[in-house]
Amino acid sequence: VQKPQSTRKQSSKSCLCCKFRREQSSPPAHEDPELAAQEQRLDYHDDDQRLRREEFEENLREMGLEMEREEGNKIPGVGFLKIHAPWEVLCREAEFMKLKMPTFKKYEVSHGSSIVEKVNMFMQKVTAPLQPNVGENRMENVKHLSYPFSREKQHLMYVILILSLQILYEEWASYSIFYKYQPIGLIRKYFGEKVGLYFAWLGVYTQMLIPAAIVGVIVFLYGCATVEDNIPSMEVCDERNNITMCPMCDRACSYWKLVTACGTARASHLFDNAATVFFAIFMALWATMFMEHWKRRQMRLNYIWDLTSFEDAEVSHSLFLLCVFVCSTQIFVTLAIVFGVVLYRVSIMTALHMSSTPTFRTNIRATVKTTAAIINLIIIIIMDEVYGAIARWLTIMEVPKTDKSFEERLIFKTFILKFANAFTPIVYLAFFRGRIIGRPGKYIYVMGSYRMEECAHAGCLMELCIQLCITMLGKQLIQNNLFEIGIWYTLLRGLSKVAVIVNAFVIAFTSDLIPRLVYQYMYSPDGTLHGFVNHTLSYFNVSHFQPGTEPMEPMHLGYKVEVCRYKDYRDPPWSATPYEFSREFWAILAARLAFVIVFQNVVMLMSDFVDWLIPDIPKDISIQIHKERNLIVELFMKQERGKKYRNTIGDPSPQPLRSRPSSQA
């Protein structure tokens, strides 16, 4: 802050007068006019710097800070200025920041004797080897009351303990102790509450992933154990069926045997089996349990750390239209990228079909799936950085009033853009691939190919799993977690609700679970899945190929093909309505929609019941908060009675309570 112009002129005049006296006292000498002018400019520059420094120091003094000069150092021409913050200044700033400080008043923390508390005590003893050696994991029996700091009540403050970076390095930032819990209390004391809450959330999330991973492995092992008993995959692999499939593309592709998809059918059963529905229900309930567990954990940390909530600033909508336009543009860019990957997949598959190398032609699906997923991952990682920069730029343009408002807006924009970036390819695989392919003889062309984007015979669920594994694992290994536990709770809660609906549609439309059940209970002659593969394949007369689309090698299988099969529910060419959707198609579609409705409502009802059953605030914490409030009221009532008593005996200046000894702090 610059001083008024008059003060600056007086200071400049005094400096010039001193300089004039020095020149009068020194003997005149013959000097070069240019050197003299340059020296004069340097003198004015030094004087200006000195004046600015003096003004800055004077402003510091006005704020109440104290300064101590040290000019006797080994570096010539350089001096150091020590700045001290007196106790009064620290108290003033602490009061402005509304810091909550522990009081001398303390009380016993009762842990209760219920079954839950006994289980918690038992679990603490069992997990003792997993706890970090920082001396902070023991149950606290004594807790101090806390209150916003006030200069009128300086006796409420005591000294905070000293933090040790070495302990964090030994008990936290080391790969050798990855199996231990995090020293959240020490992290909070060294890095602050914000970072402490972030790592606490990360620890809860990682801990909750353990049961989800265990159940997922069990479901996968169930698929491995029952793959030999899976009737549809056995029918696909049975060479006696001798099912001839229609070409996968125009001209370059030829007829092929269904038995060549045996490996894909068996692998699909590992991910698409009867336990898949159970796993989807479990993950929906898992999401609710995770949210409830984190709410309780956060409430406990807020109570232990004496955290206070910050006031929200009003959201400005002056740039709302700009944000919507930019976000919509970026989402369209993401859709264009997905379409580009589809074109890549079709082009590579066509090229491999035309290849004369047998190895390439036998591993077409595996090659295209893996390379397309890796390309998707690379594009997602690159666009994540671009979208992150765009979200930050848009948030800066809005000029939020508070840091919390800035973070919430930044997180919301980043979430929308990165969510669309990461999940658009997955949504395409789950709900759109293979849905708009058409049928042989009446194609929907994509670069000369019509069935390249068709799912494997067992469905697209296996390809969806491959895409999810490569994308999520790659992002986890390459990218770090970016943001922390505020607006994220709302986003995650909404995402858990959306996940229930998405899982319902994935099971109904991507998996073959519903078609299998419909066939087993409506069309199977013996109530089993025998004949299911033949039921899912429609007939096509090869004479109905449009000119220029028939295979170049019609004798590729060694015999002339008159009728080929393709996966779809359509009437045969000899019916009254050839190639139209059959009655089976509409029956399965109705069953799929019914499953979506039932699954969504049942799972959401179960999730809401779990949410209602588990209280947001642990019972012991709610009891301690109530007890603490009563003790605070009691404490200040005693202070008020003490003031009245001193006033009645004529002592107008109450003495502050004696400070706590440093050895007890």
Please provide the DSSP assignment of 33-60 as one string.
Answer: HHHHHHHHHHHHHHHHHHHHHHHHHHHH
The band of 212, judged by pLDDT with boundaries at 50, 70 and 90, is: very high
Is residue 633 over pLDDT 50? Answer: yes
Token pair of 120 as six digits: 């918690």
The CA–CA distances, whole Å, from 359 to 254, 257, 261, 267, 355 equal: 16, 17, 15, 20, 9
pLDDT at 382 over 70: yes
According to the model, what pLDDT value does residue 399 have?
79
Q: Provide the whole-model pTM.
A: 0.62
Query: pLDDT tens-digit profile of 387-441?
Result: 888 888 888 888 787 777 888 888 888 888 888 887 787 777 777 766 655 556 5
Mean pLDDT of the chain: 75
Which position has the higher pLDDT, 29 or 292? 292
Q: Give me the residues paired with residue 564 across strands.
A: 540
Assign residue 560 a region (left: φ > 0; alpha: ψ between -120 and 50; beta: otherwise).
beta
pLDDT beyond 80 at 357: no
**Residue 411 confidence (pLDDT):** 82
Q: What is the DSSP string of 534-586?
A: HHHEEEEEGGGPPTT-S-S-TTTTSS--SEEEEES-B--TTSSSTTSBPHHHH
Please say if the pLDDT value at position 210 is more than 80.
yes
**What would the mean pLDDT of 317-336 be, rounded to a whole number?**
68
- Residue found by looking up tokens 């099912």 in the block: 243
Give the three-state DSSP class for 92: helix
Report CA torsion sign: 452, 453, 457, 461. positive
Q: Answer yes or no: is pLDDT of 486 > 80.
A: no
Tokens matching residue 393: 């730029």
- Give the pLDDT score at 465: 75
Residue 609 DSSP SS3: helix
Grouping H, G, I as helix, E, B as strand and the rest as coil, residue 138 is coil
Q: What is the pLDDT of residue 151?
A: 59
**Cα gap 286→284, rounded to integer Å:** 5
User: What's the pLDDT score for residue 83?
Assistant: 92
Secondary structure string (H, E, C) spanning 366-388: HHHHHHHHHHHHHHHHHHHHHHH
Q: What is the mean pLDDT of residues 84-97?
A: 82
Angle between the N-to-C axes of helices 275-305 and 488-505, in degrees from 0 to 180, rounded to the nearest 10? 170
Give the residue-averaged pLDDT of 574-581.
Answer: 89
The residue with greater pLDDT, 383 or 102, is: 383
Beta bridge partners of 142: 108
pLDDT the model gives residue 313 = 40
Between 465 and 22, name the one with better pLDDT. Answer: 465
Q: How confident is the model at residue 588 (pLDDT cuts 50, 70, 90)?
A: very high
pLDDT at 102: 64
Q: Above 70 in pLDDT, residue 450?
A: no
Alpha carbon distance 507, 592 (integer Å): 9
* % of the chain exceeding 70 in pLDDT: 69
For residue 640, pLDDT over 60 is answered with: yes
Rounded CA-CA distance 57/37 in Å is 30
C-alpha closest to that of 475 among 382, 389, 391: 382
∠ CA 507-509-512, rounded to 5°: 70
Residue 519 has pLDDT above 90, yes or no: yes
Q: Is pLDDT larger for residue 508 or for residue 144?
A: 508
pLDDT in tens, 132-163: 777 654 445 666 666 666 655 554 444 444 44
Which residue from 217, 277, 211, 271 is spatially nearest to 500, judged by alpha carbons? 277
What share of the chain in percent tops pLDDT 90? 10
**Given a cut of 70, is residue 16 above it in pLDDT?**
no
- Around Cβ 272, how many Cβ atoms within 10 Å? 25
Q: Is 445 helix (H, G, I), strand (E, B) or coil?
A: coil
Torsion, CA 149, CA 151, CA 155, CA 158, rounded to 10: 50
What's the CA gap between 295 and 624, in Å, rounded? Answer: 17
pLDDT at 76: 72
Identify which of 183-187, 223-227, 429-433, 637-641 has the greatest average pLDDT.
Answer: 223-227
Classify residue 292 by its DSSP letter. H
In this structure, how many other beta carbons lie within 10 angstroms of the beta carbon of residue 225? Answer: 10
Residue 645 pLDDT more than 50? yes
User: What pLDDT does residue 13 have?
Assistant: 47
Average pLDDT of 19-28? Answer: 49
Contact 52, 44 (CB under 8 A): no
- The reported pLDDT for the residue numbered 1 is 34
Residue of higher predicted confidence among 385 and 145: 385
Residue 167: C-alpha distances to residues 132, 173, 183, 187 (Å): 10, 9, 10, 10
Rg for the chain (alpha carbons), in Å?
Answer: 37
pLDDT for 664 equals 37
Res. 39: pLDDT tops 70: no
CB 284 within 8 A of CB 503: yes
The pLDDT-based confidence of 347 (bands split at 50, 70, 90) is confident
CA dist 400 and 412 (Å) reads: 14
pLDDT for position 66: 92
- Check residue 160 and give its pLDDT: 41
pLDDT given for residue 482 in this prediction: 43
Residue 8 pLDDT exceeds 60: no
Q: CA 258, CA 566: separation in Å to the nearest integer?
A: 10
Average pLDDT value for residue range 428-457: 57
CB atoms within 10 A of CB 547: 5
What are the tokens at 467? 């895409």
